[in-house]
């Protein structure tokens, strides 16, 4: 088993570190936040991810998993250093690589023996070449450093399962030695490994994410056309799902994709293509469709209502999808912003997303509107004039069609996740609008 250091303890770094420890490696996770480190040492995860805390506590107890802010101590004796820090989107759509650069500088100044540096963060094609050069530029000891690409393919909400039981592992290396070491690291996972050159590995990550994003936007585009021609997108999706060339996944129409991956990665690939003088028309269309889709229900509601000013509006679901507390690029956020601008009195429910939502939308008066958070869907619905459903949490699915009629002042529901059948809502006396039906 190898001595591994992991830079960054977000969705990528922490999950990777915990899973490496789970299969027997000696792992030290590095983060700059002392409070976060103490929290993780106590077995508490700073992110909401199913099964993560249980594995943290288990491997903390064995001594295979540690956390520190002392990057020098973590890096100096590591056989392999995985970089899992964020690469947030810049205003122009490019990736911000400043966190990567900071870690590279720290590695260059800390390593005391030959080491493999592995970039797990999603980075533009060619970044690993620059990382290797950057580390060599600042290296202060006579040691051999190689850089490899090992993009992650986890989904928030199922990240632990996606790591331990992945369909494949992608590694990008420029030497047989680096390839052999990475294969040794991943051998205990017993998962197929696809070994390619570094730039191909970087492109595989973007190509996969953008393809899935394209699939979602395509279904949303078809759903919008279904509404106009009188077809039902769920019937269409069911018919498509039997075609093995298409597959059954990512066919659900809705209010667009969010989170930390798809929005950022589609814009980053679009930006990269333009740098090379190439226009990725399919990806550009995907970005445009998704942007419009997020506020489609708001626009429908706006045309239905005289005003939102002073109306109680129920919002069910805040996170960009169920199973995570992440609100990055969540459709709910854009809609809440518009509703507050229109003077709405919002009562929002989410089983795990409220603490993060409060950072973006503090409770109380915001502009013309007001923001409130409640602990049950029923509290949000009580005397509401309109309801928006943004996330497919089980707690929200459990709300019955008749409950909207029972609790709301006006049983008017705009469902961005198609949680109900149109027939059930009609029979319950609910005015119901969904996507593609």
Catalytic (active-site) positions? 261
Q: Which of 293, 287, 299, 375 is nearest to 342 (CA)?
A: 299
Q: What is the DSSP string of 156-177?
A: TTSHHHHHHT-S-EEEE-SSHH
Q: What is the dihedral of CA 53, 65, 98, 277, to 10 degrees?
A: -80
Residues 6+ apart with CB under 8 A from 418: 233, 234, 252, 253, 254, 434, 435, 436, 437
Residues 6+ apart with CB under 8 A from 122: 87, 95, 151, 152, 205, 206, 209, 261, 264, 265, 268
Burial class of residue 379, CB neighbours in 10 A (0-12, 13-18, 19+): middle
Q: Which of 272, 236, 230, 267 is nearest to 253 (CA)?
A: 236
Distance in angstroms (rounded) separating the CA atoms of residues 135 and 150: 18
Distance in angstroms (rounded) separating the CA atoms of residues 139 and 137: 6
Axis-axis angle for helices 98-110, 127-138 (nearest 10): 40
């Amino acid at each position: 088993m190898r001595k591994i250091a992991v830079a960054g303890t977000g969705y990528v770094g922490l999950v990777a570190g915990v899973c490496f420890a789970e299969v027997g490696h000696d792992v030290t996770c590095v983060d700059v936040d002392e409070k976060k480190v103490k929290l993780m040492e106590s077995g508490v995860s700073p992110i909401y991810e199913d099964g993560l805390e249980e594995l943290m506590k288990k491997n903390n107890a064995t001594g295979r998993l540690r956390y520190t802010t002392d990057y020098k101590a973590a890096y100096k004796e590591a056989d392999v250093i995985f970089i899992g820090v964020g690469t947030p989107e810049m205003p122009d759509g490019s990736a911000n690589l400043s966190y990567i650069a900071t870690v590279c500088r720290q590695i260059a100044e800390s390593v005391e023996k030959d080491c493999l540096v592995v970039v797990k963060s999603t980075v533009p094609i060619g970044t690993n070449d620059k990382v290797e050069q950057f580390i060599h530029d600042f290296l202060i000891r006579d040691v051999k450093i190689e850089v490899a690409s090992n993009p992650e393919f986890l989904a928030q909400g199922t990240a632990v399962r996606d790591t331990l039981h992945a369909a494949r592992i992608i590694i990008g290396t420029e030497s047989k030695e680096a390839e052999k070491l990475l294969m040794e690291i991943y051998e205990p996972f017993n998962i197929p490994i696809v070994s390619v050159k570094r730039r191909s590995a970087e492109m595989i990550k973007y190509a996969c994410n953008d393809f899935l994003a394209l699939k979602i936007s395509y279904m949303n585009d078809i759903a919008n056309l279904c509404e106009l021609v009188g077809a039902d997108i769920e019937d269409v999706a069911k018919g498509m799902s039997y075609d093995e060339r298409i597959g059954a996944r990512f066919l659900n129409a809705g209010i667009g994709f969010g989170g930390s991956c798809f929005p950022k990665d589609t814009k980053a690939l679009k930006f990269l293509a333009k740098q090379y003088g190439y226009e990725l028309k399919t990806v550009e269309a995907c970005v445009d469709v998704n942007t419009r889709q997020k506020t489609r229900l708001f626009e429908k509601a706006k045309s239905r209502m005289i005003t939102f000013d002073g109306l109680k509006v129920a919002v069910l679901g805040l996170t960009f999808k169920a199973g995570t507390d992440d609100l990055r690029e969540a459709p709910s956020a854009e809609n809440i912003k518009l509703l507050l601008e229109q003077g709405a009195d919002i009562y929002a429910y989410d089983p795990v997303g409220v603490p993060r939502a409060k950072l973006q939308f503090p409770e109380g008066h915001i502009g013309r509107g007001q923001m409130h958070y409640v602990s049950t869907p029923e509290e949000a619905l009580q005397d509401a004039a309109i309801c928006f459903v943004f996330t497919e949490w089980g707690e929200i699915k459990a709300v019955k069609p008749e409950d909207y009629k029972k609790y709301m002042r006006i049983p008017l529901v705009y469902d961005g996740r198609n949680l109900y059948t149109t027939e059930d809502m009609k029979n319950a006396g609910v005015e119901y609008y969904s996507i593609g039906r």
